[in-house]
Amino acid sequence: MKILQVGLGGFGRFHLEAWLQLGVRDSLWVCDLSAERRAFAERAGMAPDHIMSDWESMLPQVDVVDIVTPTDSHFALCQAALQQGKDVFVEKPMTMTSGQAVELAELCEQDDRRLQVGYYYRYHPMTLRLLSLIEQDRFGAIRYLTGNFCGFKRARTDVGVTHADAIHFLDLFNALTGSAPQDVFAVTRDHFNRGLEDFSVVLLTYPSGAVAKVESGYVQPGRRRDQVVPGAMTTKEITLVGARATAEVDFENQTLLVHEVHHELRQGVWAAVVGETVSVPIEVCSPVQLVARELQDFLDTVRTRQPARVGPRESGVALARLIEAIYESARTQSRVVLTAEAGVASSAS
């Protein structure tokens, strides 16, 4: 199987390392417009004749395409690859708009193509363990989810922080609850006056009644060294509050704590019944290892022709519609109601 990776900047370097970790060097070609980035690929061990600046010339010769470029280029690159019969892996977010996402999803369905979206927290051992605990009904009914994806770092120039960072936990919360939110209320700020938000707080309500909050931003302090962005400090944490127990996950510290706490009505007072706190053993994974796991899953999907685990409808169209609802809510300062079919149904004060 011949693979073409388009883009070697930022997260693209992690993809290259992951492909090499998977042992596909001889069947991998990489493309980037930057001579400096192409030189990095050669230093990483890629043969010079497998490194290029023109992705279009190589496209007819490969089987799958891995797109790791700025978000505003995703649609055109995915469309070109799909129209030439290629299966595609594209880093999140899949597209800039829900209309583009729908078009790509329909292309996949018409031509039986596989398109997987890169949400690598879906493959984190802590996420998989948390999903297992949910399936075992360890927490009871999920009442509240929080996510903090914040830290002092460079601001991306293609999309705002909600689209760049918060979207990881928006996707993850959909996976943990097994549903999409039914309404959203959001506040965003553009402190840098770029036309892209650098601060975002999003409140979500799910059909089960569970409430979630996702905070992201470049202006809030982070607590740990970022494993992806050099020199940045970051906080990447989620909390899941259930009727019987609560979980705290720290993705940067790679810890999962389960607090055996619930409330009981005792003599007319709802009292907290506090049990033990358990540190759940978790396999430590680097970002490259996580990317390798999702890329291997993508290759398995291509070979078996099974539906992608993180496919274009649930993690492309649905997330694009949710992001648009978040921006509509922030613009109108009102709650926005979502529907499965149409995305944004209405705004309500």
* pTM exceeds cut of 0.85: yes
Buried b (16+ CB within 10 A) or exposed e, 318-334: bbbbbbbbbbbbbeeee
**Cβ-Cβ contacts under 8 Å for 236 (sequence gap 6 or more):** 148, 149, 250, 251, 252
Identity (one letter) of the amino acid at 80? Answer: A
Residues 287-308: what's their mean pLDDT? 97
- Residue 345's pLDDT band, with cuts at 50, 70 and 90, is very low
Domain ranges of the chain: 3-120+290-311, 125-284
* Alpha-carbon torsion, ordered 250, 253, 255, 259, to 10 deg: -50
pLDDT surpassing 70 at residue 344:
no
Closest by alpha carbon to 319, among 94, 165, 100? 94
Say which CATH class 3-120+290-311 falls into: alpha beta
**Cβ-Cβ contacts under 8 Å for 96 (sequence gap 6 or more):** 71, 72, 74, 75, 159, 320
pLDDT of residue 96: 96
pLDDT tens-place string over residues 33-74: 999 999 999 999 999 999 999 999 999 999 999 999 999 999
pLDDT tens-place string over residues 185-240: 999 999 999 999 999 999 999 999 999 999 999 999 999 888 888 888 999 999 99
Residue written as token pair 């919360």: 173
| CA–CA gap between residue 272 and residue 246 (Å, rounded) | 12
pLDDT surpassing 70 at residue 148:
yes
* CATH T-level assignment (fold) for domain 125-284: Dihydrodipicolinate Reductase; domain 2 (3.30.360)
Please state which of the ranges 140-144, 228-232, 293-297 shows the lowest mean pLDDT: 228-232
pLDDT of residue 340: 63
pLDDT of residue 95: 97
Ramachandran category for residue 301: left, alpha or beta (phi over 0 → left; psi -120 to 50 → alpha)? alpha
Q: What's the number of CA atoms in the CB half-sphere (13 Å) around residue 289?
A: 7
pLDDT tens-place string over residues 310-340: 999 999 999 999 999 999 999 999 999 997 6
- Provide the CA 88 distance to its chain's centre, in angstroms: 16
pLDDT of residue 346: 43
Helix axes 12-21, 287-304, angle to 10 degrees: 70
Give the torsion sign (CA, 230, 252, 116, 343). Answer: negative
Closest by alpha carbon to 317, among 109, 5, 12, 65? 109
